[in-house]
Amino acid sequence: MAEEIKLTQDEAPESRNFIHAFIEEDIGPGGQFEGMTVHTRFPPEPNGYLHIGHCKALTIDFGTAEKFGGLCNLRMDDTNPTKEDEEFVDAIQQDIHWLGFDWGDRFFYGSDYFDEDYRQAVGLIKKGLAYVCELTPEQFKEYRGDTTTPARSPWRDRPIEESLDLFERMKNGEFPEGKYTLRAKIDLASGNFNMRDPVLYRINYLPHHRQGNKWCIYPMYDFAHPIQDALEGITHSLCSLEFENHRPLYNWVVEHCDLPSHPRQIEFARLGIDHTVLSKRKLRKLVEEGRDSGWDDPRMPTLCGLRRRGYTPRSIRNFCERIGVAKSANVVEYGFLEHCLREDLNETAQRTMAVIRPIRLTITNYPEGSLCAANQLFDYVQNGTIQCGGDWGGYWSGKDTAFELLSTTMDNFTGMDYYIWITQGGGLKCYQDMYGKYNMTYFPIMINHAESGIRSTKPITSIKDMQSMKIRLGGVMAGRAAEKLGINITTVAASE
């Protein structure tokens, strides 16, 4: 069982991206791809909608290309016609664009290469590296062998001409499903069972979503995938950890087929989230059985479901980047995904404040044309200004006898709340809240407004007094700090 690693919002690991280290080595002096452009690909299977688990893979594929100024292809892995559909193709493209990634003009289908896949298979037969086998599925299991017993096939030494004839007749639809397979001739005694003469082609009469009934034989993923990568000029084929034991077969196909390049496969651990189903097969079952309203049900971990629930592209990308890239399987707490969303919404969500019963107040002795003293709180921020005049108006709620002039949270800068108070004592106080630690600054300003009942009786001397007597100043609202580029604050003229 994979080791479970709990990542919380208080304990997020530093990124140690071994993939970037490998790529830097490959494109550096003397590397396999020295002087070449980094080229990756994201190859989803169009038999369902993308979920949060896929998001880690596509973030690695597209993000790695962005980091190195390279390219990333989008390729639909539609070599299996069983449950593929154009609906899923469209949904996958929409979700990737929603996350902010783009593949340019490099959009492909695995089925685009069926003719080339077939040609390469014929080439392997002619080289004596593949043969047509007649073992049934039951016999496959029986003859598979174990760690001490090699696998076997009575058809391994079939003559090349006979295999070529049978393979062509398989393509022409002369045999039923399961009658024949095309197998690679590698090593029946290999300790890696993926190398024990794996199947390269099988017969399947289901119509393909793009090719129709043109083909009745389909290449296996382990055969088609490396061919497609090499033909597209992929330098680094990044895939999840379950393909680690398939890497020798990937390299074998590239080395023994007539291909223009030799990509490097690198594996990383898949994303696991506690209490969350990330199996496309199981999610599809929920949809087909009507247990939810569809793939975009807000309860689903699909990207379209998360979008309906209110998640933002930036929060999901931040989540994928912050959990890091590792070689060992791990499980992340769902609460950390929610934390990333709260962080993003705190900076970007629209906030509106209103005064229920506004009454005009006027400060009579403030110098005309001067900047408000509150501007001193933002002198470290680019373009931080508050526009004030001599007839500086605010709004009073009708009950309390103090003002809250400014209230904002600036996580990009200090994570503090700032308040300006006009007090009973005729003064303006700046109140700075830094996670419960308070600093006070006093600015003397006289107030004269008999109708409101504000009189100079005694100054407010404690935070408790101020909190109990605050009034919202509706004419001033703080702008959000955006990416540490600055903040701009402007009062709205008070109305009579």
Catalytic residues: 45, 270, 280
Asked whether 445 and 422 are in contact (CB, 8 A), the reply is yes
Provide the 8-state DSSP code for 472: B
Half-sphere exposure of 10 (CA within 13 A, CB side): 0
- Dihedral angle over CA of 375, 381, 387, 391, nearest 10: -10
How far out from the chain centre does Cα 364 lie? 55
Q: How far is CA 454 from the centre of its chain?
A: 55
Assign residue 380 a region (left: φ > 0; alpha: ψ between -120 and 50; beta: otherwise): alpha
Question: 79 with 34: CB under 8 angstroms?
Answer: no
One DSSP character per residue, 308-369 reads HHT--HHHHHHHHHHT---SS-EEE-HHHHHHHHHHHHHHHS------SS--EEEESSSPTT
Beta bridge partners of 8: 11
Residue 447 · residue 473 · CB < 8 Å? no
Contact between 444 and 427 (Cβ < 8 Å): yes
CA separation, residue 297 to residues 98, 312, 354 (Å):
17, 16, 35
Phi, psi of 264 (to 5 degrees): -110, 125
**Residue in 191, 197, 225 with CA at minimum distance from that of residue 131:** 197
Q: What is the dihedral of CA 89, 95, 96, 98, to 10 degrees?
A: 140
Residues 75 and 91: their CA atoms lie apart, in Å, by 14
Token pair listed for 425: 């004592």
- Tokens 């289908």, residue located: 109
Q: Is 335 exposed, middle or buried (0-12, 13-18, 19+ CB in 10 A)?
A: middle
Spatial separation of the C-alpha atoms in residues 214 and 173, rounded to whole Å: 10
Q: Are 409 and 325 in contact (CB under 8 A)?
A: no
Integer CA distances (angstroms), 321 to 55, 318, 369, 491, in order: 10, 5, 48, 39
